[in-house]
Amino acid sequence: MNIEQLIDYLKLNSGFNENVVSWNTVPAKDAVYSDFPDYIDNRLVEYYVSKGIVKPYSHQRAAFDHARKKNDFVVVTPTASGKTLCYNVPVIDEIIKNPESRALYIFPTKALAQDQMYELNRIVESLELKIKTYTFDGDTPANARKSIRESGHVVITNPDMLHSGILPHHTIWVKLFENLKYVVIDEVHTYRGIFGSHFCNLLRRLERVCSFYGSNPKFILCSATIANPKDHAEALTGRKMFLINESGAPSGEKNFIIYNPPVVNENLGIRQSSVKLSAELASTFIRNKITTIVFAKSRIRAEIITNYIKEKTHARLAAYRGGYLPGERRDIEHKMRSGELDGIVSTNALELGIDIGSLDAVISVGYPGSVSSLLQQFGRAGRRNSSSISLLVANSSALDQYIAENPEFLTGFPPENAVINPDNLLILLDHIKCAAFELPFSETERFAPHISTTKEILDYLESEGILKNASGKYHWMNAIYPANEVSLRSASHDNVVIVDATSANKVIGEVDLSSAPTLIHDEAIYIHQGRQFYIDKLDWERRTAFCHETDSDYYTDAECKTDIHVLADDRTMKKNSFSINYGEINIREQAMLYKKIKFRTHENIGSGKITLPEIEMHTSSFWIDFDEEYLDSFGGKANSGALLYSVGYILKNIAPVHLFCDPSDIRSISMSKSSFSLKPALFIADSSPGGSGLSAKLYDIFPDIAVFASEHISRCSCKEGCPGCIGPSAGGIEGVKKIICALLKDLSNGHNPETETLH
Amino acid sequence: MDITQKLKLYTKPAQPSRETKEFDAASIGFHSVSGDSGNIVRKESFYSFDDIKIDEVSFKRSMKSYLSMNGFDDSIELHEILFLDLETTSLSIAAGSIPFLTGFAYFDSDMLIVEQIFIEDISREKNYLDYLLPFFANAKAVATFNGASYDVPLIKNRYMLNRVYGFPMKIPVIDILIPVRRIFKKLYESLSLGSLEKNILGFEREDDIPGFLIPDVYFSFQRSGETDRIAAVAEHNAVDIVSMIRVFSIVSSIYESASNRDFSMIDTDHMKNLASSLFAKDIDLFLDMADFLGDSILDDENLFQKFSIALKRENDYEKAVEYWKSNMTLFSLNELAKYEEHKTSNYVKALEYSETAMTLIEKNVYSENGGEIKNAARWKENFEKRIKRLKGKIGNHTS
């Protein structure tokens, strides 16, 4: 079957069709061309013509014109629409005309940076130009760095390297900063949430350094589809941006399908496993020579699906995820591009624009948490001249079921806003430190949006002995290297490396410190490229886990104990029997034990203790304190704990859709007795240290969310609760769905801003 | 909560700072001087050649040997060298690392003049950079101890950051740590100045402030005006400079003796190290030194290998073979097998050497006297290939 035949086959297959909740067809689209303008160097135009690009697409031409007018702009067009041309042409043209000019490219990953360098080098070599393009990242050899600093026209780097390798050493990058004409930032949709907030501050630092050297580079940004590209680009750069969002690129017919696996146990509301079903569908596709990429939500799922497909098809298949070492990843990318692979099973590590060519089909196993992520995954399928399939297989989780119940939510594909909160105090504090290390602050300088906030933070840092105010300038006065203490991506900067002790301590992968206690504790089973490794020892101090390869019939799943202390209750709305609050909290978390779970049957076949240090963080949180009698009145004293957990479960799963965030950006913790109010309490907290602004927003829109949650529970087809609505634990309480709906309704009425007290 | 309160919650509060005291340069043995470049806080000390235990005439001469043997312009005179040592707020050379005490020294009319400048007020860093600029501009070289990768780039940063132009970016840097590494490698517990003082100069400092405490002295001063330990830092810096110059005079005289073939003046261990480093640069001198060292190079596998290869390069096979035979290690057996195979075409003999090597590898020893094999697999592969090839060659000849 070719792809068109496969689409017909699926349309006519009733077994498949009865579980399709939505099938949207986007018709094929013709190209809209424009002309190369005369102001572009002829050689460059001839190069593209020789490569078959006789005329640029309309959006590419728009980009050239904006660059010509020295405008900052953002390009938002679909995957494979030729975005790189939008910046490579103005940049190379500028350097041809003025060989002193420099450009800085920032890509979120090293892999993308490599791709870009090859692309630019191809052009430069073919034109025999003396333009030097280098990647500058952690892999750059020390002896090459000097010549990159001095002679690199285009330096391609990533945010982490800009943060800790370039900006703090700006004095040896004089050539670059004095002559910087363009800053190109691709994949800007990835700079959202905490990472985006850090990134915004990083750009503030970049601008400070540029202005010290007297340069004022223009910014060219590119993004995958998000709802607010212009606003987001402006929030990141603090500049007015022009928007280019009309793509002139052609595309084949696209089929977007949402598939909800059939219910196999009505009592428990359990559906057929999305993992298994996706693996089966992928096997069918791949057997018919339909190149397919499967996106799984976790490393473990990706590995399981890979093994399944390999068993069924003998396909040439690779698993792809973040924990792999650069060489392994490069190899997979290359094989996919050159047609040596029939399919890839990936985590979201491949969502970013890594060039693996176009595929016929995408299967997303479970909703990846945001519309823009889903669109990124779906964008992997689609060739210019043939049709493609993008398939979302919903799982049993509440969020997926919420989407399966409301497919209209996705059919128009209104992607999320990318939200950043660059003025998160902790993030701001970190970057003001880094910025002060790079160049002294003057008392009247603005870094945070307000001079007064900036000054307040600077004064605080002086009182802490980190800065010294001398004659109106704050100078760095500390032995630490602040960039090393700030991670752009998460709370913890550290990674733990995993080494195979039986194979000359070969490094097989790494995980971040905060996931280490649950993923690679002693005796855990760690899965890598479909191979299983038994963790012999996690050496916490040395950030190293030692393992050996094994062949077990189970995997491990860890459980944590969590403690919360309220540090400040900033806002409170009091009702007779409960109160709704927002404030600062301290979370302490300790991995306690792990369970051994058998593959396929998922039965629990044993457990063990985990003894690792506690992980502590401060953040912001929304919470509800309940009077004990009030809570007990809903389902009886014995069931109050389970009810609370279920309310947290549904809120945590529904809220991200309305807060425009990733489910992992917030977390729910229920406590039978809060150490603050001494009452039962439910916390919905920001996952990142210092807070991300999400729980504050939840406090404001809580009544709506409580109503949505209760409607979703009533609509859910299960009888007494399922993972798709109130979660697994409250089963067994009679009429539990009605009880929880009643509780939610009561809570939504108790939200009355007039009763609010601010502290 | 307001911002400051929140920040206190999120971060660990520091100890309360003490009252700031008025700074008095005299309290640390410095003077506040005003000049063309504005106010600076400075100290000047004078030393005679006797004070620093250096023979003036021979140092001026031997230094020239050092310069010419190490690729520097040997017309540079001692008084044209600026010696430099910085005390800084961190070990990094990034933008936020401040050289709060700069020590520099030069010879003038039979005296060594050590000047030290203390940055009392960081906002006046530019003053001291201005003051220092002519010293750099007039010097023909800067000499430091580990400064090629630390002190010099760091001070360049400061000029860049303060927008003071005119720093001679291409000035030659004589990094005294480089010859120190070449000559004293592996002989002492470390090659720090402290260790060199103990092992080469024959003294140990008393009441010296340890290097890791130095940034804190400045931070305390900035926070509370505490000046108690600054004089100790200045003293530490001055001793560093003098010791650096004394070490320079000693390594210079070793280079001079080597260049004059006056080998009896050089300690055997120093000579072995130095010879090793000269192998790639001056093969004649290397061979002369090896000759002088005689059998004692047999104890030094590295030197022994270099020496026999040098003989081979000079086509002195007779002597090389003699050396290899006197010390039958895997290395020697390999060289002997190569020699018999390619030079004399005595394949049987070559095979014999290779097979002897294989028995050593099987016993897992580097020579008949024992010793550990590094890269056993590579040696094995090498000899196996050679044996196979030799057997082929012997087969062809006999058939």
Which residues are A263's β-sheet partners?
A271
Q: Which pLDDT value is given to residue A491?
A: 44
Contact check, Cβ <8 Å, B11/A478: no
Retrieve residue A276's tokens: 């298994």
Q: Is A715 left (phi over 0), alpha (psi -120 to 50) or beta?
A: alpha
Probe site for chain B from A143, A146, A162, A171 (most B CB atoms < 10 A): A171
Structure tokens at A678: 């001494």
Q: List the single best residue of A143, A145, A172, A471 to mutate versus B (max B Cβ within 10 A).
A: A172
Amino acid at A571: R
Query: Where does A98-129 have alpha helices with state H?
Result: 110-127
Distance from C-alpha of A444 to C-alpha of A467, rounded to nearest angstrom? 16
Q: Do A479 and B89 touch (CB under 8 A)?
A: yes
* pLDDT value at A754 more than 80: no
In which residue are the tokens 């600076």 written? B40
Q: Report the pLDDT averaged over residues A499-510.
A: 80
pLDDT (0 to 100) of residue A706: 92
Average pLDDT over residues A224-245: 90
Minimal-distance CA residue of chain A relative to B223: A465
pLDDT band of A493, cuts 50, 70, 90: very low
**From the CA of A57, how many Å to the nearest CA of chain B?**
44
Task: Yes or no: say if A459 and A485 are a contact pair by the CB < 8 Å rule.
Answer: no
State how beta strands A270-271 and A343-346 pair. unpaired
Chain A partners of B91 at a C-beta cutoff of 8 Å?
479
- For the stretch A400-413, pLDDT in tens is 887 787 776 665 54
pLDDT for the residue B76: 96
Residues with Cβ within 8 Å of A644's Cβ and at least 6 positions away in sequence, in order, are A626, A631, A670, A672, A680, A682
Position A233 scores a pLDDT of: 95
Note whether A691 contacts B: Cβ–Cβ < 8 A.
no
User: Alpha-carbon distance B349 to B332, whole Å?
Assistant: 14
Minimum-distance CB partner of B223 among A425, A456, A465? A465
**Are the C-beta atoms of A84 and A119 separated by less than 8 Å?**
yes
Q: How confident is the model at residue A362 (pLDDT cuts 50, 70, 90)?
A: very high
Q: Would an 8 Å CB–CB cutoff place B10 in contact with chain A?
A: yes
Q: Which residues contact A32 (CB under 8 A, 6 or more apart)?
A: A57, A58, A246, A248
pLDDT at B364: 87
CB proximity A142 to B under 8 Å:
no
Tell me, rounded to whole angstroms, the distance of Cα B371 from its chain centroid: 30
CA dist A607 and A521 (Å) reads 13
Q: If you count DSSP H runs as helices and E runs as strands, how many of each does chain A have, helices first? A: 24, 31
| Whole-angstrom distance, CA of residue A397 vs CA of residue A384 | 35
- Percent of chain A predicted with pLDDT > 90: 38
CB of A174 within 8 Å of any CB in chain B?
yes
If you average pLDDT over residues A238-262, what whole number do you get? 92
Contact residues, B window 206-225, toward A, CB-based 8 Å cutoff: 215-216, 218-219, 222-223
Contact B123 A472 (CB under 8 A): yes
Instruction: Return the pLDDT at B302.
Output: 84
- By DSSP bridging, strand A756-758 and strand A554-574 are antiparallel
Is the torsion defined by CA of A532, A536, A539, A542 positive or negative?
Answer: negative
Alpha helices in A379-424 (DSSP H): 398-405, 408-411
Q: Which of B6, B91, B161 sits opposite A425 (nearest CB)?
A: B6
Q: For A189-283, list the strands marked E by DSSP.
A: 218-223, 242-244, 254-259, 263-265, 270-271
Size of interface A-B (CB pairs under 8 A): 104
Q: Which residues of A touch B216 (CB under 8 A)?
A: 479
- Position B369 scores a pLDDT of 81
Residue B24 contacts A, CB cutoff 8 Å: no
- Residue with token string 């009702």: A575
Q: Which residue from A166, A194, A192 is spatially nearest to A180, judged by alpha carbons?
A: A166
Average predicted confidence (pLDDT) for chain A: 86
The rounded distance, in Å, linking the Cα atoms of A301 and A299 is 5
Min CA distance, B153 vs chain A (Å)? Answer: 9
Q: Coil, strand or helix: which one is A757? A: strand
Nearest Cα residue in chain B from A471: B123
Contact between B92 and A438 (Cβ < 8 Å): no
| Rounded (to 5) percent helix, strand, coil in chain A | 40, 25, 35
Q: Which parts of A439-471 fold into alpha helices (H)?
A: 451-463
Stated as kind and residue range, the H or E segment containing A666 is strand A666-671
pLDDT at A492: 44
Single out the residue of B246, B241, B245, B265 nearest to residue B255, CA to CA.
B265
Over residues A559-564, the mean pLDDT reads 85
Sign of the dihedral defined by the CA atoms of residues B5, B10, B16, B17, in that order: negative
Percent of chain A with pLDDT over 70: 91
Mean pLDDT of each 10-residue bin along chain B, 399 residues long: 72 54 85 84 95 96 95 95 96 91 95 96 91 94 94 94 88 96 93 95 93 92 90 96 97 96 93 89 87 82 86 87 88 92 91 93 86 86 92 77
In this structure, the strands spanning A531-539 and A525-528 are antiparallel
- Whether the CB-CB separation of A719 and A622 falls below 8 Å is answered with no
Q: Which tens digits make up the pLDDT trace of A117-147?
A: 888 998 999 988 899 999 998 778 888 888 8
CB-based contacts of A211, cutoff 8 Å, min separation 6: none
Selecting from B7, B90, B157 the residue whose C-beta is nearest the C-beta of A479 gives: B90
Query: Which of A:283-322 have CB within 8 Å of B?
Result: none
Side-chain half-sphere exposure of B362, counting CA atoms within 13 A: 7
Residue B324 · residue B335 · CB < 8 Å: yes
Q: Average pLDDT of A690-712? A: 86
Which of B92, B164, B224 is the best residue to mutate to test the A interface, defined by the most A CB atoms within 10 Å of its own CB?
A: B92
**Of A253, A263, A261, which Cα lies nearest the Cα of A280?**
A261
Q: What are the backbone angles phi and psi of residue B45, rounded to the nearest 5°?
A: -130, 150
Q: Which pLDDT does position B9 carry in this prediction?
A: 66
Q: Which residues contact A61 (CB under 8 A, 6 or more apart)?
A: A34, A35, A36, A37, A248
pLDDT of residue A189: 85
**Interface touch A437/B95, C-beta < 8 Å:** yes
> A377 forms bridges with which residues in the sheet?
none
| Helix, strand, or coil (residue A206) | helix
Q: Does A177 touch chain B (CB under 8 A)?
A: no
| Signed CA dihedral, A504, A505, A507, A509: sign only | positive
Which positions in chain A touch B92 (Cβ < 8 Å)? 168, 481
B82-121 residues touching A, CB cutoff 8 A: 89-96, 98, 121
User: Taking the CB of residue A470, how many other CB atoms lie within 10 A of it?
Assistant: 18
Task: Tally Cβ neighbours within 10 Å of residue B144.
Answer: 24
Q: Does the distance separating the beta carbons of B3 and A481 come in below 8 Å?
A: no
- The reply to whether B377 touches chain A by the CB within 8 Å rule is no
Indicate the helix (H) or strand (E) that contains B32: strand B31-35
B399 touching A (Cβ < 8 Å)? no
Q: Which 8-state DSSP code applies to residue B132?
A: H
What's the CA gap between B53 and B66, in Å, rounded? 19
DSSP character for B340? I
Q: Which residue of A has its CA nearest to B94?
A: A169
A747 burial level (CB within 10 Å; 0-12, 13-18, 19+):
buried
